[in-house]
Amino acid sequence: MIVNCDLHIHSRFAGGSSKYMDIEHILRYGKLKGLHIVGTGDCLHPTYLQEIQEYKNSSLILTVEIEDRNRVHHLVLLPSISKAYELRERLKKYSNNIDTEGRPKVSLGGGELLEIVRETGGLIGPAHAFTPYTSLYKSFNSIYDCYGKKPDFLELGLSADTDMGDMVEELRDIPFLSNSDAHSYHPYRLGREFNQFEVRGIGGLEENFQEIRRSIKHRKIVANYGLAPALGKYHLTACSKCYLRYRIEDAIKLNYRCATCGGVIKKGVYDRTLELSRDKKVVHLDFRPPYYKIIPLSQIISLSIGRGIGSKVVENLWRKYIELFNNEIEVLVKEDIANLIKVNERVGRTIEMFRKNRIYYYPGGGGEYGRILKTPPKIRWYKPMTTLDTWLK
């Protein structure tokens, strides 16, 4: 059977997360999204781990994000409650916040952490590997400089897709995951990126782990679904204060200081993947599954009717679609357009545009999310001054 899985989220015990990110909300809204298996997130937090035990026979899989001494973030999948406790005990002497923070920091390098995780039977790979903060390729120029060996997978992150990942030669034989990194249960966060796996069934925590492990190890990932990379917060190089977009050569000349406001310019994921690629080619090996772009339904409704994504009108229309067609993924990917138009013509037509790849994107950068548009964007680029401009000024 084919299942939709979001393997990287956070609970209310991680900084910056909604106070409602508990198991009940995660399971309820995961189902409305169309997810069959959802990562718990934060499974090393002692209070949350006790909460997870009450749902051990549900459609969850034990996951946690860990920050190492080089500020690289790692996504870890674990096989059982007992192994989560074992990993907690092994990492406690290397962490000052493992009892208080859902995303703990450890005084270990990536290679050391990899060995400990594997000794406890888990899987490990870099989280949001290309972002300009707390990522593998922020701190290292090679995945092997971090781990010393090949990790089990690499998480692309919201600002990258398979094409960008496969521009980097050393990654072409590594499985890619696409996950939401959601900090709230809202359907435009949870499941905004997900993976499709071929599995033999869904059970409790242990069976779900074994099936996902089998899919990753035996290359049974059917598809990656994710945002268009342009919608990610760090797709283009941009100022992190005023969000002016920069071409990389201009950012370098300015020593990564914004010419307009003096803010810090953050190198975008697109420029970073080009920097890491020697041959500047996209090469997909035969095992690489397709990557399908997806847009949260709430964003499509918001664009269609001209109301804010958090407004009651948008929420009510979203609920109407879910009540009629079971879940969001069904609406976005499968349901007949004629049926969607019957609910709301403007929304149905926008979904049709999305499916035909006729949606435009204002690309994100510097920490500002990209936006979906019905017309080509006018990007706010930095324009370097010429000698004449300087003289006239």
Local confidence band at 57 (pLDDT 50, 70, 90 cut-offs): confident
DSSP for 306-328, please give it: T--TTSHHHHHHHHHHHHHHSSH
Distance CA 172, CA 288 (A): 8
Quote the tokens at residue 17. Answer: 């997360």
Quote the tokens at residue 382. Answer: 């930095």
Q: What is the pLDDT of residue 187?
A: 87
Distance CA 55, CA 30 (A): 14
Q: Which residues, 6 or more positions from 332, have their beta carbon under 8 angstroms from its beta carbon?
A: 294, 295, 297, 300, 351, 354
pLDDT average, residue stretch 213-241: 97
| Contact between 298 and 322 (Cβ < 8 Å) | no
HSE, CB side, 13 Å, CA atoms: give it for residue 202: 15
- ∠109-221-284 over CA atoms, to 5°? 80
pLDDT tens digits for 160-185?
Answer: 999 999 999 999 999 999 999 999 99
The reported pTM is: 0.95
HSE, CB side, 13 Å, CA atoms: give it for residue 192: 25
pLDDT tens digits for 328-358?
Answer: 999 999 999 999 999 999 999 999 999 999 9
Q: Phi and psi at residue 317, in whole multiples of 5°?
A: -70, -35
Q: What is the pLDDT of residue 56?
A: 86
- CATH for 2-229 (3.50.50.60, 3.40.50.300, 3.20.20.140, 2.40.30.30): 3.20.20.140
pLDDT average, residue stretch 281-294: 97
Quote the tokens at residue 113. Answer: 């952490």
pLDDT average, residue stretch 1-22: 97
Quote the tokens at residue 334. Answer: 């499968």
pLDDT higher than threshold 50 for residue 290: yes
Helices 81-92, 46-53: crossing angle, 10 deg rounding: 170
Domain ranges of the chain: 2-229, 231-267+360-392, 295-354
Q: Which residues, 6 or more positions from 181, have their beta carbon under 8 angstroms from its beta carbon?
A: 8, 9, 10, 127, 128, 157, 158
Strand spans (E) along 8-163: 37-39, 60-67, 73-78, 123-126, 154-155
